A = this chain, B = another copy of it.
Amino acid sequence: MVDLPRWLTDDDRHTWLAFLYAQTLLLEQIEQDLQRDAGMPLAYYQILVILSEHPGGALRMSELASAAFFSRSRLSHAIDRMEKSGWIRREACPSDRRGSIAALTDAGRRVLEEAAPGHVESVRRHLFDQLSDREASELRDVCEKLVRYLLRSLNVSAPSVLPNDYFGVQPGDSLNDARSLP
């Protein structure tokens, strides 16, 4: 006995394609801008941001990985390259001899400060300039709902460092305002 596949409705199919294409094209555009202006992919920018927002500009590898939604392996390779660029320095962890700490260097902080204005401008132009306030807020609500679900479904354990407070379980939670580099 065979389960007949249940296709999507036309509406849902169009929604899915619209999401897929919007996501593809928007990220492509923003990545291109960032690559051209700052010579780094968005993922690396995010690493720099997370470190810069953390007191001391340093974080255990595994905390950094979960804050950025990176696998340990991906992070390890990425930090390799950023270390070669001089943006990050690895330090030993005093409390756990297995551990390793990624610390922002002065060069890393500088490169982030130089990249940030252009990147913010790019996000504004390609995303927020195209949407009304109402649309932006609808987009936010939908995305936050998805993130809450996906964090439960995918990981089981939510990251403990950064976006923890953004997408807390209880819908009424107060939001974190880490107000530094975007």
Taking beta carbons and an 8 Å cutoff, which residues of A are in contact with B?
3, 5-8, 10-19, 21-29, 69, 116-117, 120-121, 123-124, 126-128, 130-131, 135-147, 149-151, 153-154, 163, 166-167, 175, 177, 179, 182
Query: In the docked arrangement, what's the CA distance between A102 and B21, Å?
Result: 22
Chain B residues with CB below 8 A from A69, complex form: 21, 24-25, 28
Chain B residues with CB below 8 A from A28, complex form: 69, 154
Interface of A is mostly: helix
15 pairs, CB–CB < 8 Å, chain A vs chain B: A6-B121, A12-B136, A14-B140, A15-B140, A18-B166, A21-B143, A21-B163, A22-B144, A22-B146, A22-B150, A25-B69, A26-B150, A28-B69, A130-B149, A139-B142
